[in-house]
């Protein structure tokens, strides 16, 4: 039996509208959105956890590094379950870290630390948890990108308009850092 619910985010979601109920979502069937060439799937958000944490995946092809950014109030997990990810991060002392994560490897970026990543294999999947005392930010991706019912990666890149970056960033604790250079390479 497959249950679907109307929520504030989707007409048909596998996440129950009533946050007190246990539930299961099969692989790929969470709330989906496209952003550039990637598929973001939300399995639990702030409503489910009293705003303490969320749980989502980011899947995509081998590609370019994403824009460097930081979150002033959000700690972030990067846990790779398929493919490979090059993670870039800068600590409060200005020291930079650059490491390749393969399945089972874990990366942690505390709030206020600039970071970026690059998928280094096709069919890469990152499990993400992104939250802090101010709440969770799992809906950033579909606000900047596009919610979808489709399963799988976007058939063509979903590219936001320039003004949409500023709007989504302001709403979801994202500060882009166009001047930041990764000196680790």
- The residue (of 24 and 185) whose beta carbon lies closer to a second copy is 24
What is the rounded CA–CA span in Å between residue 66 and residue 110? 18
- The residue (of 112 and 146) whose beta carbon lies closer to a second copy is 112
Token pair for 94:
């200005």
For 16: left if phi > 0, alpha if psi spans -120 to 50, otherwise beta; the answer is beta
Token pair for 45:
């958000």
User: Is residue 91 close enough to count as binding a second copy by CB under 8 A?
Assistant: yes
Say which DSSP state 18 is in: S
Q: Which stretch binds a second copy (CB under 8 A): 40-48, 141-149, 161-169, 170-178?
A: 40-48
Residue of the chain from 61, 69, 84, 110 that contacts a second copy (CB under 8 A): 110
Give the H or E element holding residue 116: strand 115-119
User: Is residue 72 close enough to count as binding a second copy by CB under 8 A?
Assistant: no
Give the CA angle between residues 146, 62, 104 to the nearest 5°.
Answer: 95
- The residue (of 21 and 167) whose beta carbon lies closer to a second copy is 21
In the complex, minimum distance from the CB of residue 29 to a second copy, in angstroms, rounded to a whole number: 9
In the complex, minimum distance from the CB of residue 166 to a second copy, in angstroms, rounded to a whole number: 25
Which of 21, 18, 16 lies closest to 31 in space, CA to CA? 16
Q: Look-up: residue for tokens 């490897």?
A: 105
For the segment 42-61, give every residue that binds a second copy (CB under 8 A): 43-44, 48-50, 52-53, 55
- The residue (of 127 and 158) whose beta carbon lies closer to a second copy is 127
- Phi/psi for 163 (5° steps) reads -65, -20
Applying CB under 8 A, which residues contact a second copy?
19-28, 30, 43-44, 48-50, 52-53, 55, 75, 77, 79, 81, 87, 89-92, 97, 99, 101-110, 112-113, 115, 127, 129, 131-133
């Amino acid at each position: 039996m497959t249950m679907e619910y109307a929520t504030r985010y989707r007409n048909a979601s596998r996440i129950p509208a009533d946050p007190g109920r246990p539930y299961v979502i099969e692989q790929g069937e969470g709330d989906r959105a496209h952003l550039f060439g990637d598929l973001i799937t939300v399995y639990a958000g702030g409503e489910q956890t009293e705003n303490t944490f969320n749980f989502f995946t980011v899947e995509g092809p081998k590609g370019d590094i994403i824009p460097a950014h930081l979150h002033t109030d959000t700690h972030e997990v990067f846990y790779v379950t398929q493919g490979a990810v090059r993670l870039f991060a800068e600590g409060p002392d200005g020291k930079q870290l650059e490491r390749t994560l393969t399945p089972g490897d874990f990366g942690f970026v505390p709030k206020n630390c600039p970071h970026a990543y690059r998928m280094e294999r096709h069919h890469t999947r990152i499990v993400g948890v992104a939250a802090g005392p101010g709440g969770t930010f799992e809906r950033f991706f579909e606000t900047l990108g596009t919610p979808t019912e489709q399963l799988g990666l976007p058939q063509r890149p979903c590219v936001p308009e320039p003004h949409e970056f500023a709007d989504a960033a302001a709403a979801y604790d994202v500060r882009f850092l166009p001047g930041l250079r990764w000196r680790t390479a």
